[in-house]
């Protein structure tokens, strides 16, 4: 199962250092999401990360930085959906294009994405009051109806529910609060790795 880490929208102490360590410990995909940051601030964070990991970084804003830093891909959100077609055209063959959705009906209408986030699968850890929209049965039914698409669980995901996410049939899981809300993100990542290894 593919594991994706999404950066916190809040300031994290030693963030670049933590991200670099996560990459060294096996993280394959990081979504760099900083909705309140300027282009300069996003660029500064990219520059603090070792160049060998740039192809594993997916941006949520400033698509023009993709080519400049040879990054891994771009993620379409509600804030840039109006630019989706334009961004898709600028994506190179080696870069991914993904999108955030809140229902299987929405996913069903969309084509041409490498993977699709659906949320909130569980009650959110990072957003208070952002509660799950789905029963386990609805998730299984929705995944079955969209079996040809790579769907990633988001919202309330942590190392404890990864096994259930895998059993339900998700292509992957994306963690935000499930790692950055922890006292030690690196220790949390090691628990995630252990949980996913046990599923193999």
Q: Please give the sequence-ordered ranges of beta strands (E in DSSP) within 77-147, or none if there are none.
A: 96-101, 115-118
The span from the CA of 110 to the CA of 82, in Å, is 14
Local confidence band at 199 (pLDDT 50, 70, 90 cut-offs): low
**pLDDT for position 106:** 96
What is the number of structural domains in the chain?
A: 1
- pTM tops 0.85, yes or no: yes
Q: Which domain holds residue 101?
A: 2-199
pLDDT tens profile 162-197: 999 999 999 999 999 999 999 999 999 999 998 887
Of the candidates 37, 26, 12, which has an alpha carbon nearest to the alpha carbon of residue 185? 12
**pLDDT for position 172:** 97
Of the candidates 59, 94, 96, 93, which has an alpha carbon nearest to the alpha carbon of residue 79? 59
pLDDT at 130 over 90: no
The span from the CA of 118 to the CA of 100, in Å, is 6
The span from the CA of 98 to the CA of 119, in Å, is 14
**pLDDT for position 195:** 87
**pLDDT for position 200:** 59
Tell me the CATH number at 73: 3.20.20.70
**pLDDT for position 43:** 97
Of the candidates 111, 107, 110, which has an alpha carbon nearest to the alpha carbon of residue 119? 107
| Contact criterion met (CB below 8 Å) for 95 and 129 | no
């Amino acid at each position: 199962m593919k594991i994706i880490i999404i950066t916190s929208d809040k300031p994290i102490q030693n963030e670049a250092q933590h991200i670099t360590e996560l990459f060294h410990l096996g993280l394959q995909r990081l979504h760099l999401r900083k909705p309140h940051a300027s282009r300069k601030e996003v660029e500064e964070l990219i520059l603090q990360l070792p160049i060998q990991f740039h192809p594993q970084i997916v941006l949520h804003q400033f698509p023009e930085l993709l080519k400049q830093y040879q990054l891994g891909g771009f993620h379409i959100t509600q804030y840039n959906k109006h630019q989706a077609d334009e961004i898709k055209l600028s994506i190179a063959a080696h870069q991914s294009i993904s999108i955030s959705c809140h229902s299987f009906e929405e996913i069903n209408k969309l084509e041409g994405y490498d993977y699709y986030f659906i949320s909130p699968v569980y009650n959110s850890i990072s957003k208070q009051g952002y509660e799950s929209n789905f029963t386990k049965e609805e998730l299984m039914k929705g995944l079955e109806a969209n079996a040809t698409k790579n769907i990633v669980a988001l919202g309330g995901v942590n190392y404890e529910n990864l096994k259930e996410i895998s059993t339900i049939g998700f292509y992957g899981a994306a963690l935000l609060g499930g790692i950055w809300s922890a006292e030690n993100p690196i220790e949390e990542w090691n628990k995630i790795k252990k949980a996913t290894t046990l599923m193999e």
